[in-house]
Amino acid sequence: MKNVAVIGAGTMGNGIAHTFAQNGFKVQLIDTNDLALKKALETISKNLDRMVAKETITEAIKNTTLSNITTFTNIKEGVEYASLVIEAATENVDLKLTIFKQLDDACPDDTILATNTSSISITHIASITTRPHMVIGMHFMNPVPVMPLVEIIKGYNTSEEVIKTIMDISKKLGKIPVEVHDFPGFVANRILMPMINESIETLYNGVAGVHEIDTVMKLGMAHPMGPLQLADFIGLDVCLSILHVMYDGFKNPKYAPCPLLVNMVKAGKLGVKSGEGFYDYSESKKAEKISKQFLK
């Protein structure tokens, strides 16, 4: 399995493409937006330059990695020879169902279809296809080239052969795959998002300020990044979407998003990507500094 297609050229998509390409896979990076593809290649190149500067890779490895990536704006053309497709589009169930229907129609019959969803049911996504036994979750952590964990989520019909294949591929990427079951939020976000939401509630209730809340969690709980800062890094709209999925799935009020989070998303304060969230990233250098700090 050497041809891998990645759907979506955003933060997660370009990170997944980078990781596969650096490990010898031929990657077809697909996005309907030409500008997004250009930006993704620029991001990958900058991240590789950082790795060269740190002497973790050579200039030759950087060049080989970039040569392993080909971009497409047409799904059918991009997945024509793919043995594995990883969807990394926005965390929206309707969008993902539409993409998987297209992939099912366009991909060879033996292509494994994976999704990088962080909360949406694999079984639900698989149900739109004619190959539910070949649909699986591969939830990478951000930033993908750095973070070792991959949550491997088995849908109700996912075959053991597909699970083994994806576990093996994850290890070839230098990742540590952990198999989990198909419940809303899986493990990572089922634990992380209530913590972030409770941090927002703590701010909303006036218990402490943004800096104070994050400082307590960093110094007291040894978190590398405070929960409010992490929410900014993830994207407040993404956090809200995941909480909605878990609330709808479990019908448990503990997953109901804090009103402050809802209002911030409505106001367009989404974190790093919008220039403002719980912190101010209006100067581009501030956002870049925060990202570099986390990438160290």
pLDDT tens-digit profile of 192-216? 999 999 999 999 999 999 999 999 9
Q: By the 8 A CB rule, do 155 and 136 touch?
A: yes
Mean pLDDT, range 102-123, rounded to an integer = 97
pLDDT band at 295 (very low <50, low <70, confident <90, very high): very low
- Among 18, 136, 103, 147, smallest CA distance to 29 is for 18
| Residue 208 burial by Cβ neighbours in a 10 Å radius (0-12, 13-18, 19+) | middle
DSSP 271: B
Reported as a single tens digit per residue, the pLDDT across 164-191 is: 999 999 999 999 999 999 999 999 999 9
Q: Where are the domains of the chain?
A: 3-181, 189-291
Q: Please give the positions annotated as active site.
A: 118, 139, 151, 189
**Binding site for NAD(+), residues?**
8-13, 31, 91, 96, 118, 142, 273
Mark the binding-site residues, compressed into ranges: 8-13, 31, 91, 96, 118, 142, 273
Domain 189-291 has CATH 1.10.1040.10: yes
What's the predicted TM-score (pTM) here?
0.89
Strand-pairing partners, residue 71, are 29
We find that the CATH architecture of domain 3-181 is: 3-Layer(aba) Sandwich (3.40)
